[in-house]
């Protein structure tokens, strides 16, 4: 292949216009054909323009890769050149496939896109991706994910204008707008090019792959994806959600009764509240010990809001008021490393019928 570099870090393998025979029949076969982080370049009708797609920043979120594989199998010439970036191939390949968000002891790649840049392989890969994006100057970027729990689809952006709305509405009518900066790829939007995150729904939800494929088909084939002319759908906005996180040293489990002497037990059915309302009477789980020793809920300004939104009654956890939850996970690993869920005030979203 290309010249070997002195370090272990090889960046992205480059693959231009792969033919039908070389991409496998299934998404898993396609994954196995990828030697590592891969950049696939597809020639479009207008090669003077290009768009980028990133997926598999997290190795256990296959819907974006499924959609890319479908596009490659269909061999439809895109409207403009398309650059697909598939970074966490090694994590995704661990048997039986699409299980690991990242390899053990590796950093979360989607937390590596803002300074200070470290020396880890993930930091280098994130910077390499940014370097290629700057060089190719795509008119926009979409980053396709799955939620860890079962969920309806939604888009996330740190920036709000028509171009971001237009990109999200290729996939879904739900749009989360957040000021919270975690080092995720979409945060390049402000300084580089319009970039949105698409959460297609849970990796286990069969409709997630269909949504990713339908959206990617529009993204690659439409002449113009940055104005709202392509849709008459009105978006439902959720502004500045609050993240509910475990306090360092506290633990979490999922069950129908209290499972920990010290920590949080959430009801396993909690993921069914994704994008649904919960009221002050909806039990969410159990708390052993002091609520604020177990959980924290920071708003995007870093202000602690836990007791504004949650209370305990005889060791049972309830909201204090009607709120809407999303990105609810029932995976304790993700709850520990990332967050339990996001929430917004029930009246904070501009509702459409839903």
Q: Residue 206: helix, strand or coil by DSSP?
A: helix
Least distance in angstroms from the C-beta of 113 to Zn ion: 13
As measured in angstroms, the least distance from the Cβ of 110 to Zn ion is: 6
Closer CB to Zn ion, residue 145 or residue 173? 145
Of residues 184 and 250, the one with the C-beta less far from Zn ion: 184
Q: Minimum distance from CB of 57 to Zn ion (Å)?
A: 6
Residue 54 vs 264, nearer CB to Zn ion:
54
Kindly state the smallest distance separating residue 199's Cβ from Zn ion, in Å.
7
Tell me whether residue 181 or residue 307 sits nearer to Zn ion (CB atom): 181
For tokens 């849709």, what's the residue?
A: 231
Minimum distance, C-beta of residue 60 to Zn ion, in the bound complex (Å):
8
Distance CA 211, CA 346 (A): 26
Distances (CA, A) of 136 to 47, 51, 121, 311, 343: 11, 9, 22, 50, 37
Going through the chain in order, the beta strands assigned E by DSSP cover 13-16, 38-42, 46-55, 80-86, 141-147, 154-157, 174-177, 195-202, 236-239, 242-246, 252-254, 263-266, 277-278, 285-288, 295-298, 310-313, 316-319, 323-326, 341-345
Q: Concatenate the DSSP letters of all residues of 313-342 into one string.
A: ETTEEEESS-EEEES----HHHHHHT-SEE
Question: Strands of 263-266's sheet, edge to edge?
Answer: 252-254, 263-266, 285-288, 316-319, 310-313
Contacts 24+ apart (CB under 8 A), 21-27: 23/69, 23/72, 23/73, 24/69, 26/69, 27/62, 27/65, 27/66, 27/69
SS3 content of the chain, % helix, strand, coil (to 5): 30, 25, 45
Least Å from the CB of residue 1 to Zn ion: 28
Contacts with 294 (C-beta within 8 Å, 6 or more apart), sequence order: 246, 247, 250, 263, 264, 287, 288
Q: How far is the CB of 126 from Zn ion (least distance, A)?
A: 14
114 closest CA partner among 26, 192, 177: 192
Q: Which is nearer to Zn ion, 213 or 265 (CB)?
A: 213
Work out how close the CB of 155 gets to Zn ion at its nearest, in angstroms, rounded to a whole number: 13
> Which of residues 145 and 163 has its CB atom nearest to Zn ion in the complex?
145
Distance in angstroms (rounded) separating the CA atoms of residues 115 and 124: 12
| Helix 63-74 vs helix 206-221: crossing angle, to nearest 10 | 50
Q: Which residues of this protein are in contact with Zn ion, per CB under 5 A?
A: 58, 61, 145
If the CB atoms of residues 89 and 294 are measured against Zn ion, the closer one turns out to be: 89
Q: Please identify, using beta-carbon distances, which residue of 42 and 211 lies nearer to Zn ion.
A: 211
| Nearest distance from C-beta of residue 184 to Zn ion, angstroms | 9
Smallest distance from Zn ion to CB 144, Å: 9
């Amino acid at each position: 292949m290309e010249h070997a570099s002195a370090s272990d870090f090889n960046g992205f393998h480059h693959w231009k216009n792969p033919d039908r025979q070389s991409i496998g029949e299934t998404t898993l076969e396609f994954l196995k054909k990828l030697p590592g982080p891969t950049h696939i370049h597809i020639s479009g009708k207008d090669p003077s323009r290009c768009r980028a797609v990133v997926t598999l920043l997290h190795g256990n979120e296959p819907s974006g890769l499924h959609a890319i594989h479908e596009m490659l199998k269909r061999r439809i010439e895109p409207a403009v050149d398309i650059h697909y970036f598939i970074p966490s191939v090694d994590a995704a390949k661990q048997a039986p496939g699409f299980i690991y968000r990242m390899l053990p002891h590796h950093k979360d790649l989607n937390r590596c896109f803002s300074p200070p840049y470290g020396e880890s392989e993930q930091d280098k890969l994130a910077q390499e991706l940014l370097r290629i994006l700057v060089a190719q100057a795509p008119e926009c970027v979409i980053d396709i994910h799955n939620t860890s729990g079962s969920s309806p689809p939604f888009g996330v952006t740190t920036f709000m204008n028509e171009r971001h709305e237009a990109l999200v509405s290729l996939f879904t009518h739900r749009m989360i707008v957040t000021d919270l900066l975690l080092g995720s790829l979409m945060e390049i939007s402000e300084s580089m090019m319009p970039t949105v995150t698409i959460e297609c729904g849970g990796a286990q939800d069969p409709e997630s792959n269909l949504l990713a494929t339908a959206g990617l088909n529009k993204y690659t084939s439409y002449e113009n994806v940055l104005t709202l002319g392509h849709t008459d759908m009105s978006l439902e906005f959720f502004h500045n959600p609050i993240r509910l996180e475990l306090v360092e040293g506290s633990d979490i489990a999922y069950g129908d009764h209290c499972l920990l002497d010290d920590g949080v037990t959430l009801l396993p059915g909690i993921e069914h509240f994704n994008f649904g309302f919960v009221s002050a009477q909806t039990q969410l789980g159990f708390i052993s010990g002091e609520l604020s020793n177990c959980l924290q809920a920071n708003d995007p300004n870093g202000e602690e809001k836990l007791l504004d939104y949650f209370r305990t009654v005889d060791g049972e956890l309830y909201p204090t008021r009607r709120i809407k939850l999303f990105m609810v996970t029932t995976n304790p690993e993700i709850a520990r490393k990332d967050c339990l869920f996001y929430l917004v005030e029930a009246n904070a979203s501009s509702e459409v019928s839903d």
